[in-house]
Amino acid sequence: MNLKGSNSLTSDELFGQLSYDLNISDEKSLLTLTFLGSEKLEYNLTCPICLDIIFQPYSLRCGHIFCKSCVCLAASVLIIEGFKCANQDSKCPVCRESGVYAKSVCMSELGLLLQPK
Ligand SMILES: [Zn+2]
Ligand SMILES: [Zn+2]
């Protein structure tokens, strides 16, 4: 699957105007975001925890992205409790930064992009 498009992901203030290039194949799943006139951001869309395509992506403050269920598991909270209940000392499974859960962002637009068509 190779989706190209231009979109305004307005509801997420992290983004603003950008174009994206979504590339999902067996070997790699990459989302390349290109901000207007500025740099490119490349997201690996494989969840570091379950090693599958990220489902209901959540971005931690450090910028790492996981499935919602995986990130809840990593933070030792129930999905219904949410990340406010996460221990301040809980660390990102990838970069080991602590306190990254409280400010995690639901990337719902990205989730929509990743849904099977
Ligand atoms: Zn996962
Ligand atoms: Zn991290």
Superfamily of domain 2-114: Zinc/RING finger domain, C3HC4 (zinc finger) (3.30.40.10)
> How much is the CA Rg of the chain, to the nearest whole Å?
14
Judged by its nearest atom, the ligand closest to the C-alpha of residue 71 is: 1
Average pLDDT over residues 75-88: 84
Judged by its nearest atom, the ligand closest to the C-alpha of residue 103 is: 2
pTM above 0.85, yes or no: no
| Ligand 2 geometric centre to CA of 70 (Å) | 13
**Where are the domains positioned within the chain?**
2-114
Q: Is 1's pLDDT higher than 80?
A: no
Judged by its nearest atom, the ligand closest to the C-alpha of residue 100 is: 2
* Coil vs helix vs strand at 67: strand
**Planar angle of CA 37, 43, 46, nearest 5 degrees:** 165
| Ligand 2 geometric centre to CA of 44 (Å) | 13
Residue type, 6: S
Evaluate whether 100 touches 61 at the Cβ level (below 8 Å): yes
> Per residue in 95-108, pLDDT tens?
999 989 988 888 88
| Ligand 1 geometric centre to CA of 46 (Å) | 8
